[in-house]
Amino acid sequence: MDAAIKSIRPNKPSDRQPESRPAELDPAEFLEAAVRADQPRPARAEAEAAVKTLLAYIGENPRREGLLDTPRRVVEAFDELYQGYHQCPAEVLDRTFGETAGYDDFVLVRDIEFTSQCEHHMMPFYGKAHIAYTPVERVVGLSKLARLTDIFARRLQTQEHLTAQIAAAIDEILKPRGVAVLIEAEHTCMSVRGVAKHGASTFTSRFTGMFRDNPAEQARFLSLVRGTTR
Ligand SMILES: Nc1nc2c(ncn2[C@@H]2O[C@H](COP(=O)(O)OP(=O)(O)OP(=O)(O)O)[C@@H](O)[C@H]2O)c(=O)[nH]1
Ligand SMILES: [Zn+2]
C-alpha cells in the first residue's frame, strides 16, 4: 500500500528554536539534511523567517507596517492549505454501512469541488472530482469521498498523482469491485503566469477493477458525469 494512504506523515512542528540550527549549515543544506534524516520539520519561527526572506526578495520591506503580520498569516495559510499531510485516508474510509438491501450498482458522487497546489510552482489548481465505486456488501458514507479528495488535495500535487491516489485509497481500503475517478481542473500556473492560457482545462482519469475491464461500465460512468443520462 502507498505509504501516503495508510499513514500520517511524522511532520509535527518542531518546538526547537531557530537558533538550534547548526551555525555551519546554510538554510538550504539544513532543510535537505532534515528531510534526509526524517527529522521534525522546521519550527514555525523558521517558516515565518523564510516568508520574510521572500518578501525582501520581491523587493518589499518586511518591516513596513502592512507586512508585519504577513509572515504569520502566510504560515497559517500554509497550515490550512497543506493540512492533508496530517490527515489519514484510512481513518476517513474506516466507517462503512452494511444495510444496503443488496445494492450492487456503482455509487457516483459527482462535482466534488477541490483546490490543490501544484508541486512545480506551489500555485493553486482547482476544479471538480467525480468519483464512483462499486461496493461489495458495505458502503461508505458519501461525504467521506469528498473528505478523501480534500486529504490528498491539501498536499503538493500533480493532477495525475491526485487522481491516482484517490483511486488507490478507495481500492485498497474499501476493496470494491472497481473505482473510477475523473478530475477536471484549471491550473493557475498555466493561467496567471508562464504560458498564460486562461480557461484551459485538464482532464485526468483512473479506472480500476470492473471500470478498467468493462468499457460499457466506463462509458456509463462518463455519461453520468457529463450529465447525459440523467
Ligand atoms: N503533468 C503535469 N504537469 C503539470 C501539472 N501542474 C503543472 N504542470 C506543468 O509542469 C511543467 C513544469 O515545466 P518546467 O519547464 O519545469 O517549468 P516552467 O519553466 O515553469 O514551465 P512553464 O509553466 O511552461 O513556464 C509545466 O509545463 C506545467 O504546466 C500537473 O498537475 N501535471
Ligand atoms: Zn504549476
Residues 6+ apart with CB under 8 A from 75: 44, 47, 48, 51
Q: How many helices (H) and strands (E) does the chain have?
A: 10, 7
Q: What are the φ/ψ torsions at residue 108 (nearest 5 degrees)?
A: -120, 125
Each residue's pLDDT tens digit, 194-229: 999 999 999 999 999 999 999 999 999 999 999 976
ipTM: 0.93
Grid cell listed for 149: 479528495
Ligand 1, residues 165, 184, 189, 197: which to mutate, most atoms within 8 A of Cβ? 189
Each residue's pLDDT tens digit, 8-66: 444 455 544 444 444 455 555 655 555 555 667 899 999 999 999 999 999 999 999 99
Ordered structural domains, the chain, with CATH:
23-81 (1.10.286.10), 88-226 (3.30.1130.10)
117 in ligand 1 pocket by Cβ < 6 Å?
A: no
pTM (2 d.p.): 0.86
90 in ligand 1 pocket by Cβ < 6 Å?
A: no
**Rounded distance between C-alpha atoms, residue 16 and residue 29, angstroms:** 17
